[in-house]
A and B are shown apart, each in its own frame.
Chain A
Amino acid sequence: MRPECKSIGKSWFERLNDISFWRRIMPGLGGRSLVSRLLALLTLGAVMVYLIVNIGLWWTSSRLIEDNLEKQAVRWLAELDDLGTPLYASHGGKQLANIDKHIKHFPEIAFIRYYDASGTKVLGEAGEVRGADIPLLKPQQVERLQQQPAGAERNYLVDRSLLSGAYLRFISPIRVKSIRSDGLLNFSLENEKEETEKIVGYIDLSIDSGYYKEQMVRSMASGSLIIAALLMLGLFFGSRMIRRALAPLTELQAPLARLARGEIDVNVERAKDVEIAVISDALNTTISALKQRDEMLQKMAESDPLTGLVNRSYFARALGEEIEQVTRDGAESAVYFIDLDKFKQINDTYGHAAGDKLLIRVAELLKSQVREKDVVSRLGGDEFTVLARGISREGAMDLANSFNKILREMHVTEGEHIFSINCSIGIAMINPGRHTTDEILSHADTACFASKSQGRNCYHMYEERGDSKTEVAVDTGWFKRIQQAIKEDRFVLVYQPIIDNVDSGKECYEVLLRMPGPNGELVLPSIFLPVAQRFGLMTDIDRWVMVHAMKALADFRAAGRDIILSINLSGQSLEDKSLLQLIMDQMTLNRLPPGCVIFEITEQSALRHLENAKYLIQGLRATGCRFALDDFGTGFSSFVYLKNLPVDFIKIDGSFVNSMAQNSIDETMVLSIIHIARSLGMKTIAEFVPDEKTITMLKASGVDYLQGFYVGVPSERLPTSLRVVSDTKKNAG
């Protein structure tokens, strides 16, 4: 039932109280609306003005009425003075009837009373109101009148207290005059004669001022009704007019609402009014700017800032669309996965600036080889992907060949250095309706991996049936497995002992990660960590390891094993600003003393994320934790960086330790690292210790710790006893 139907049958009072009734008349009522506010302000202003005017009118009119009554009373007093003369005449008065007759025409005269000269005796009364209700003159009043000079301008008293102000009472003396004895001799009106005055009585006149006030109230009430009606009418028409006037503004509501919802394909029609035109122009300008910014953001979100190529998400979307297109058309397209060979080496050797320059150049070259309709993207790091639309298998291979060739022939100059780079390419043809985006990318990645395995600087076409190990290594199923392992806590932590050369009683273990494979076997990190790295899962893995390693440490310590654990951190985790807080929270949660945890980061990761590494190291060292620089010696880093990295341990890369007994250069490297570490106050850990001879050499060179399969193998359970350094027997597992 519509609200209008509800109103029918209601009394006018109910309708007035029905808010919907008013909303139909004045839309926006009840809500916060400019029109309502304007109307409310206008109404308030009008009401205020009305009240002020009415109050002023009332006050002024009351004063005017009283003044007029007073003036009229003065005239009446003079007339009554004359009319009352018989009361004071020689033969007494019988003329009160005249007074009644006279005052009958003046309904506002309430009563009249004549007093004798003393002011105490009433000589006569007249008027509608008589009797005992009217008090006699007070002696003070009589005295005041007697003291008034005869010629005073106001020779009467006004009493407003009579019957609580209902009447205005005027009391005037009746005076008689006589010229002095010689005043009439040589009489002349020009000369003022001295006259003697005497009060012979008093007139007491009361006027009902309420009569006029009542008239005034009636007039004001009727006027108020008219004004109220006019005000309502004014409000009604005013709201219409204001709405019409504000229509150009209200028309902006819809496009602004759309803008607020995020729609930027809005066009605001230019208003005809100058003031609103400015707003609509500004809005259109803003919308244009928003569109441009949106496009720019879109572009930034979909492009790689370094090379200007599209990024992974755009490429994935374009690939998805191409798959659909291929499925519809039955045409052929190809996806290329291009990985630059030994890019890291160039980056480390010549610096990041050179590496970036190289990447930009590679991007340009790749783009130059493809058509407009093809898509070239940079996946990240030194990995590029290309979508070649409408290309045959042979054409795809030709294109891959051109990629190889052009990059092979490319030379980049950086300062005095000229370097070039090759690439390994994996090609995956898009078969209609058979594979998803991720699968095709994975196929191309797999093929790229195969290309690398084949010696790099070549391409490899993905075939459905490939090497199982490669498939296992790079199948996208690993991504899901890793995610599952994280989610279901399926990773396994193993602990490899680190033996203290000095204090064999100290127990220290490096925490290593294993993952159960599809057949239940434990998969090494070298198999799944690259996938994790590629798919950005390293941070999650590090967090998982952090949490579980610290819990395990707490359990070991609770069981009476005062051990130290060394936990690895990936380069990706160094970019996680929340990692520091996580570590501190876990240490607090597990009540671990800071000195029982050592964190390891590789030298390469530290250099790649130097500032983040310094931040993390300093943050954790402040809590008492210690840091080790892992794989030291492989990153071609300058020893200068060691000064800036406040680490406690340097883990000498295993490649040096493993062959130091046979290779003097490696031995020299190890000795140098030990010497420098010692000079910097750092301790050294030798990794991959292979045999007893190496142990003897390391001991002689002063290394602090030993680690390796010969010293101790990684195990899920801690060994019951540690290998004593002086004992050449292998540690019992």
Chain B
Amino acid sequence: MTGHLQADELLMIVAIASYVIGALALIAYFFAREEYLRNLGAPLVIVGCVAQFAQLIVRYALTGIWPLLNLYGSLSLFAAMSVAFIIFFAWRYKAWYAAGFVVAIAAIALAYGVTWNEGTMPPVPSLQSYWAKIHVPIVVSSYAAFLVAFVFSAIYLVKYYAEQRIAGVKNIAAEAVSDVGGVAVRLTPGYMMASAALQDAGVAAQPMQVRGETPALEAAAAAGNPMAQWLSSLPTLSQLDVIVYRAVAIGLPLISLGIITGAAWAKEAWGAYWQWDPKETAALATWIVYLAYMHLHTRNAWRGLRTNWVSILGFGIVVFTYLGVNIWISGLHSYKV
């Protein structure tokens, strides 16, 4: 018994340590683009993910209790699935640059989850159902997919606003030639660097291209602005947008299936497939936000900047649904019951 428990704890330590070092290496890779950082971070993250799944299996084997029924188990799975998804995306879209952020958030979620570890607890009667084995992993996986979308949206927005800023800086720089006062209010290092780089390159500011190109960034990069070089080494805005879409396209069917299996379970446990319980209702709100995302994404004019803001908002609601509802609002789903 103790031996097993140690194996369980050991795996958790391996997972957390791998995530922390892996996340740091990959975040460093995001900024420095040194291959060796990716070669260090990627295997560590994979090891951490495998250790986490192994930990959940060992825990189940040891206790005979489905390990996902409290916040500790659920957040463990969330972390493991988020890392699994980002490994897939990193591999499929050559996107290791984004993985560090996902893993860092997963590690924080896992560390928070560990504080909810109450030891082994048999589940309350309403959680003693085979639906628990189906519903919880699906919902948690959808949240993990939305986390991946969130991180790519954040990168999209950073690149988008950097482009805007540098393009804007170029305009201001042009004005500044005739208006010295204009420069005085904008003497920030970023501004100075970008402005100088653009003037050296003799680039005219251009409006944002429809296809997600970032001409101002490219020009500033060509002129030697390190920040612009770093940003332009990221995929184009449209490529980032497509990745976000792909992540939401995993999350939205999953949360739909999660709501459906939750409804099937609710019908069995509480008598009605829909009770307007805060948790299921918050999940419905999450579903609505991503449904709005998908509809906006069908429109050329809305695809990109605005849909990515919706993805950011959507993840805010995911966090509220996942943790906020349990903390602030009591209901049938509260883990503490």
Q: Are A and B associated in one complex?
A: no
